[in-house]
């Protein structure tokens, strides 16, 4: 049975058109409604006070994403929901412990209930509160709370037993409402990703870009592809400079013409002229037939000059004239040939430094490009690593005709924490190695990873000095900053540099951790 892949025009896109899938997601958004569950939840809100002879009722839900407890339904409350603290509130205690409570004489003591009472103009004398437990994973997802037994009577153990029985049914209703919202959010996310999935591709394969940096680059590609402006792409080896160049070509007006990629660093100095301009038969010893140069081969398309900073100085004046006038002659001929192509160039060097050091002509530098696109190294766009790993795994499995279940969480943590000096090219090589060394139908585990990924001497695992708050400082912002730095350093040290684990220890999202690392300049 053929494997489904998310990175091939022959697979998922051939089975289910992206537009059709997006249409289906829209149908889900329109048809999957929580209205019936909300009606049911509100009916509980009306009936429960009557059953237990109470004055008011509130239903609280835990928002795990934002780590808050919020009243989604409540009698006598208008406007903003009640946000209850986990510490210092009765409902917070019930949710944290998972145990029901009956509280009496609340009008005689201060607490969160009295603060809410001042805002709502309602005095709470007593209450009964029961946790709402998920049927699926047995975790507390919220709580139901009834206030003030009528006729100044106390809540009884019988009331508690009845409410706990009812809470099981209410929990299913609340869970359906929460799941419904998660489904809608997820379908929206998938819809957005599908939009990006089909929008940017190279040779029909979607281009992976989850980080903000890469999305900005794709936005730049969209802007320059329709304009025949020369573009210079800068970035370390293995970051994907040629892929970006091919994307600009395929999305531009020259897409029907050829894409001629030239590695300027690989051409011997004595052959540069003949390679670019071509030659006629008999032009030199060994020229037994005429040959088009790169300028002619790129007719109507794109000429991509990779590692252009390595271009020998001796040939640069001739290239300048040919590019400026868009004409030239083959070796051994006096016939002037007109050229028609777009120039895209790339280098892993700082081009401006090469010009300042006299290694590259300034006039050719300005002629070669008008727009610069910088591709950051993979270590600076960690958000792309997991998406790239998944995509590359599918491609490598297809290439090797092998089925691999995926990566273990520990392998993904290693991928995220490693600095990838070889960038995407090294990641691809590592995945090819892992697929080759893994048995058919198994999960890739750390045991198969390269020694450099597993080495305890990696830079990110080195001992670090935790910053200390100065004793003579009264600056709250400074203390907060140093405390955050200290906690981040400690979490990174204790997690051996695995950022996903460090984020969990700090009880923040992985994205928040990346932002703080950048903010404080922590390597």
424 lies in the same domain as 361: no
CA distance 208 to 427: 13
CA distance 413 to 407: 10
324 lies in the same domain as 383: no
397 lies in the same domain as 370: no
pLDDT attached to residue 468:
56
pLDDT attached to residue 34:
46
In a domain, 506, yes or no: no
Distance from the Cα of residue 219 to its chain's centroid: 16
| pLDDT exceeds 60 at position 23 | no
Instruction: Work out the average pLDDT over 224-246.
Output: 90
In a domain, 91, yes or no: yes
pLDDT attached to residue 118:
86
In a domain, 84, yes or no: yes
Residues 6 or more apart in contact with residue 63 via CB below 8 angstroms = 69, 70
Instruction: Work out the average pLDDT over 82-111.
Output: 91
| pLDDT exceeds 70 at position 174 | yes
- Boundary (domain end) residue, out of 455, 481, 507: 455
371 lies in the same domain as 393: no
**Among 30-39, 71-80, 504-513, whose mean pLDDT is lowest?**
30-39
pLDDT attached to residue 37:
57
pLDDT attached to residue 68:
80
Over the chain, what is the mean pLDDT?
81
Instruction: Work out the average pLDDT over 281-298.
Output: 91
254 lies in the same domain as 176: no
**Among 70-84, 157-171, 422-436, 466-480, whose mean pLDDT is lowest?**
466-480
Task: Return the CATH number at 280.
Answer: 3.40.50.300
CA distance 424 to 418: 12
Q: How many domains does the chain have?
A: 3
**Model confidence pLDDT, tens digit, residues 317-369:** 999 999 999 999 999 999 999 999 999 999 988 888 888 888 899 999 888 87
CB 462 within 8 A of CB 380: no
Instruction: Work out the average pLDDT over 188-199.
Output: 50
- Per-residue pLDDT band for 20 (boundaries 50, 70, 90) equals low
Task: Return the CATH number at 53.
Answer: 3.30.450.40
300 lies in the same domain as 384: no
Specify the pairing of strand 278-279 against strand 371-375. unpaired
384 lies in the same domain as 365: no
In a domain, 169, yes or no: yes
In a domain, 192, yes or no: no
Q: CA angle, corner 91, sides to 86 and 96, nearest 5?
A: 50
| pLDDT exceeds 90 at position 138 | no
| pLDDT exceeds 70 at position 191 | no
- Per-residue pLDDT band for 29 (boundaries 50, 70, 90) equals very low
449 lies in the same domain as 371: no
- Boundary (domain end) residue, out of 326, 348, 376: 376
237 lies in the same domain as 366: yes
Specify the pairing of strand 140-149 against strand 127-133. antiparallel
In a domain, 474, yes or no: no
146 lies in the same domain as 219: no
| pLDDT exceeds 50 at position 240 | yes
72 lies in the same domain as 141: yes
User: In which domain, by residue range, is 300 found?
Assistant: 205-376
| pLDDT exceeds 70 at position 180 | no
- Boundary (domain end) residue, out of 428, 455, 482: 455
CA distance 145 to 159: 12
pLDDT attached to residue 426:
93
Q: CA angle, corner 467, sides to 465 and 468, nearest 5?
A: 125
367 lies in the same domain as 384: no
pLDDT attached to residue 12:
40
CA distance 260 to 305: 9
In a domain, 132, yes or no: yes
């Amino acid at each position: 049975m053929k494997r489904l892949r998310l990175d091939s025009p022959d697979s998922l896109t051939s089975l289910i058109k992206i537009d059709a899938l997006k249409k289906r997601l829209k149908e889900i958004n329109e048809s999957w409604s929580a209205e019936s569950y909300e009606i049911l939840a509100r009916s509980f809100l009306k009936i429960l006070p009557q059953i237990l002879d109470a004055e008011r009722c509130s239903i609280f839900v835990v928002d795990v994403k934002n780590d808050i407890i919020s009243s989604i339904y409540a009698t006598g409350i208008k406007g903003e929901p009640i946000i209850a603290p986990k510490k210092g509130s009765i409902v917070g205690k019930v949710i944290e412990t998972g145990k029901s409570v009956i509280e009496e004489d609340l009008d005689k003591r201060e607490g969160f209930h009295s603060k809410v009472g001042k805002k709502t103009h309602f005095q709470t004398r007593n209450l009964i509160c029961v946790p709402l437990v998920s049927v699926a994973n047995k975790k507390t997802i919220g709580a139901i709370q009834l206030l003030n037994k009528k006729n100044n009577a106390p809540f009884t153990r019988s009331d508690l037993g009845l409410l706990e029985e009812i809470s099981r049914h209410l929990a299913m209703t609340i869970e359906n409402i929460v799941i419904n919202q998660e489904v809608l959010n997820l379908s929206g996310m998938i819809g957005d990703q599908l939009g990006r999935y089909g929008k940017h591709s190279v040779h029909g394969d979607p281009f992976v870009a989850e980080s903000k940096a890469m999305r900005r680059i794709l936005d730049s590609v969209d802007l320059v592809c329709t304009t025949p402006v020369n573009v210079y792409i800068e970035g370390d080896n293995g970051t994907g400079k040629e892929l970006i160049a091919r994307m600009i070509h395929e999305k531009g007006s020259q897409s029907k013409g050829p894409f001629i990629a030239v590695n300027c660093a690989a051409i011997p100095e004595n052959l540069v002229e003949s390679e670019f301009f071509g030659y006629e038969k008999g032009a030199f010893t060994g020229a037994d037939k005429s040959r088009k140069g790169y300028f002619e081969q790129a007719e109507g398309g794109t000429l991509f000059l990779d590692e252009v900073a390595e271009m020998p100085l001796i040939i640069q004046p001739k290239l300048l004239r040919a590019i400026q006038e868009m004409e030239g002659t083959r070796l051994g001929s006096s016939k002037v040939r007109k050229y028609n192509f777009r120039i895209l160039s790339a280098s892993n060097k700082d081009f401006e430094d090469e010009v300042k050091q006299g290694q590259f002509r300034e006039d050719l530098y300005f002629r070669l490009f008008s727009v610069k696109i910088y591709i950051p190294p993979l270590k600076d766009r960690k958000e792309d690593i997991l998406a790239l790993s998944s995509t590359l795994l599918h491609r490598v499995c297809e290439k090797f005709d092998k089925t691999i279940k995926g990566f273990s969480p520990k392998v993904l943590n290693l991928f995220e924490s490693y600095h990838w000096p070889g960038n995407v090219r090294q990641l691809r090589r590592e995945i090819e190695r892992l697929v080759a060394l893994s048995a058919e139908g198994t999960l890739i585990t750390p045991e198969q990873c390269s020694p450099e990924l597993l080495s305890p001497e990696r830079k990110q695992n080195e001992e670090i000095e935790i910053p200390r708050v100065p004793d003579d400082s009264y600056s709250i912002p400074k203390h907060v900053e140093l405390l955050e730095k200290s906690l981040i350093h400690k979490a990174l040290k204790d997690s051996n540099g695995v950022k996903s684990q460090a984020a969990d220890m700090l009880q923040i999202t992985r994205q928040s951790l990346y932002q703080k690392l950048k903010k404080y300049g922590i390597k």
